[in-house]
Homo-oligomer: A and B are copies of this chain.
Amino acid sequence: MLEITELPVYRDRHLTLLTDLYQLTMMYGQFCVNRHEERVVFDVFYRTNPCGNGYAVAAGLEQVAWYLYHLKFTEGDLAYLRSLKMFSEDFLEYLKGFSFHGDVYAIPEGTLVFPNEPLLRVEGPILEVQLIESAILTFVNHQSLIATKARRIVEAARTNPKHPRSPVIEMGLRRAQNVDASVFGARAAYIGGCVGTSNLMAGESYQIPVSGTQGHSWIQSFPSELDAFIAYSQAFPEETVLLVDTYDVLRSGIPNAIRVGLQMKEKGLSLKGIRIDSGDLAYLSKRARRMLDAAGLKDVKIIASSDLDEYIIRDLILQGAEIDGWGVGTHLITSSECPALGCVYKLVAQEVHTVWEPRIKVSENPSKVTNPGRKKVLRLFVDDHAVADLIALTHEEFDASKPLELFDPIHTYKRKVIENYRIEELLVPVFVRGELVYELPKVQQIRARVDEQVEQFVPEIRRPRKPHEYHVDLSQELWDLKQTLLHEWRTP
C-alpha cells in the first residue's frame, strides 16, 4: 500500500463530516434494509465544459486520495451524529469500524477531459460509496474548474507575438472563497500553467514558486515615492520590482523608477521590473516602455495587474500593450465567469448475485439521461493526434489493427471510420479494495502533463469562445445497452 505525504495544507485536517446529511440518511436507510454492503458503481462526470471552453483540465485527484486514505469516524463525529437523533446505535456502532474498501479508477490530473466522460469510477459497498459523493465532487469540481480557467488565461497571455511565453502569476488570495479555495486554487492555477502564486501557504504546500514585491501601503508609508522605491531596492537588490501607480504613473511613478533603475545600474545592479496596477494598461505600458527604453533601461520588465481576465489580456495584447508579465487575481481564483463546474456522481451499475447490472437515470431532459454500466474511456490517436474519445464498457476489446467506425451518439447519421489508430486508456486504478495503488505525481509533473496534452489536440479546441467541439462517442455496445434500458423503461 502506498502512503500519502502529509502536506502543510492537509495538516491534521479531519473531513469525514464533509458530506451532505442525505448521504448519512441514505446510508442508514440501506443499513436498515441490510443492503449496505451491496456493491455499486458510481461515475463522476460533467455535462458542459466550464466557461464555454473546448475542454476541461482534470484536477483534484490528490485531494480525493488524501480524503479516502484518512476516512474514518472519530468519537467526535459519532457524538455529533448521535445528537441528531436520527440514527440507531447499531448504525453508529457500525460506523466506528468504517473505512474505505472500494476501488477508484480516475483520469490522472492534468489530462484534458470532455463532457460525459467518467473522470472517476468509484466501486464498492453502497454505504461507503454513498458517504464520499459530496467531498469527491467538491474537490474535483473546484480544482478542475480553476485549472481550466487558469489555462484559458495562460493561453491568452501566449497570444502575444512579442512575448509568446509571457508569464501569468496567480495573486487572488484576498478574493478567494476562503482558505482552501486560495491554496487548492493556487495549486490548480499552477497546474493550468501559471508560473507562480503570491500565496505563501500554497507555495509551502506544493513548492510552487512564490512572487510578490510591494503594495501601495509601502509607498504611502514613506515620506515620498522615491524614498519608498530606494528603500525597497536596498532591501531586495536582486529582485526589485517597483509599483508605480500609487500617485501618478507617468508623472511620478515611472520617473522615480527610472531614477532608481539608473542608480542601481551605476552600482552594477539592475532594476528587474515595474508593476502597473491601475489605469489604462495598454496606454500606460506603451508609454512606460518608451520612457524606460529612452533612459537606457531596456531590460526592465513591465508587469500588469488590475482585474485581468483572459478577454482583457487578449485585447491588451491586440492593442500592442508592452506587458511582459501578468498578475491575475479575482477572475482566476474564483473563475468569476462560471464559478462552479457541475460534476455529478451517478449510479451506473449494481451487483446482483455477483453480476454487475447496469443502471440508468432517465430524465425529462434528454441531456441528463446517464450512460449505464461499468465503463472505460479510450482516447483514440491517429498520427499522434487525438481524434476522438470513446466511452465503452469495461469488458469491450478493440483491435486497433482493424478500422473502427465512430458515430455521434445523438445524431447517429454522423459517422467516421478511423484506421491505424492508437488507443490510450484514460482511467487508471487509484484505489483497489481500499488500498492506494497510485503514486500521486508532483504538481510540477501534472503541470507539465497539461502542456503535453494540449499539443495532442487540434488548436481549434483552445479558442476561448465557440471552440471546436471534440468528439466523445459511445461504443456500439454501450449505445445499444442504453437504448435497450430506455426502451425497457418506456414499456413496462
Contact = CB atoms under 8 A, between A and B. Distances in A.
Interface of A: 8, 11-15, 17-26, 28-30, 32-33, 35, 38, 40, 42, 76-77, 80-81, 84, 86, 126, 130, 133-134, 137-139, 141-143, 145, 171, 173-185, 198-201, 203-204, 210-218, 220-221, 231-232, 234-236, 239, 245-249, 278-279, 330, 334-336, 338-343, 345-347, 350, 359, 361-365, 368, 489
B20 A173 contact: yes
Given A142-B178, A221-B40, A361-B246, A199 B15 contact: no
Contacts of A178: 138-139, 142-143, 177-178, 180-181, 184-185
Contacts of A130: 217
Given A26-B214, A232-B29, A176 B177 contact: yes
Contacts of A347: 216-217, 220-221
Contacts of A249: 364
A142 B362 contact: no
A5 to B, nearest CB: 15
Contact of A489 (B210, B247, B359, B364): B247
- Give 10 nearest A-B pairs by CB, closest first: A21-B212, A22-B212, A178-B180, A12-B12, A137-B174, A177-B181, A334-B339, A177-B177, A20-B198, A339-B339
A347 B365 CA distance: 54
A234 B32 contact: yes
Copies in the complex: 2
B179 A235 contact: no
A17 B278 contact: no
Max count, chain B CB within 10 A of own CB: residue among A22, A178, A182, A239 = A178
Contact of A200 (B80, B182, B245): B80
Max count, chain B CB within 10 A of own CB: residue among A13, A84, A138, A173 = A138
A138 B182 CA distance: 9
A289 B194 CA distance: 53
Given A17-B201, A21-B198, A364-B279, A29 B86 contact: no
A361 B38 CA distance: 65
Contact of A179 (B138, B201, B248): B138
Given A17-B201, A19-B199, A138-B178, 9 more contacts: A8-B14, A11-B12, A17-B200, A18-B200, A32-B231, A38-B221, A177-B180, A177-B339, A330-B340
A21 B174 contact: no
B336 A339 contact: yes
A104 to B, nearest CB: 17
Contacts of A201: 15, 17-19
A138 B204 contact: no
B336 A340 contact: yes
A72 B141 CA distance: 33
Contact of A236 (B29, B179, B210, B365): B29
A443 B335 CA distance: 29
Contacts of A232: 25, 29
A29 B251 CA distance: 25
A257 to B, nearest CB: 16
A177 B350 CA distance: 31
Max count, chain B CB within 10 A of own CB: residue among A19, A185, A334, A365 = A334
B182 A84 contact: no
A100 B203 CA distance: 23
B18 A179 contact: yes
Nearest to A218: B26
Contacts of A173: 18-20, 134, 138
Contacts of A342: 175, 330
B84 A26 contact: no
Contacts of A346: 216-217
A123 to B, nearest CB: 14
B177 A334 contact: yes
A439 B224 CA distance: 41
A159 B341 CA distance: 30
Contacts of A220: 347, 359, 361
A365 B231 CA distance: 27
Contacts of A364: 245, 248-249, 278-279
A418 to B, nearest CB: 35
A198 B22 contact: yes
Contact of A231 (B29, B231, B361, B489): B29
19 contacts: A18-B183, A20-B171, A20-B198, A20-B200, A21-B199, A25-B214, A32-B234, A77-B204, A126-B221, A138-B174, A142-B181, A177-B181, A177-B334, A178-B178, A178-B184, A217-B347, A245-B364, A249-B364, A335-B339
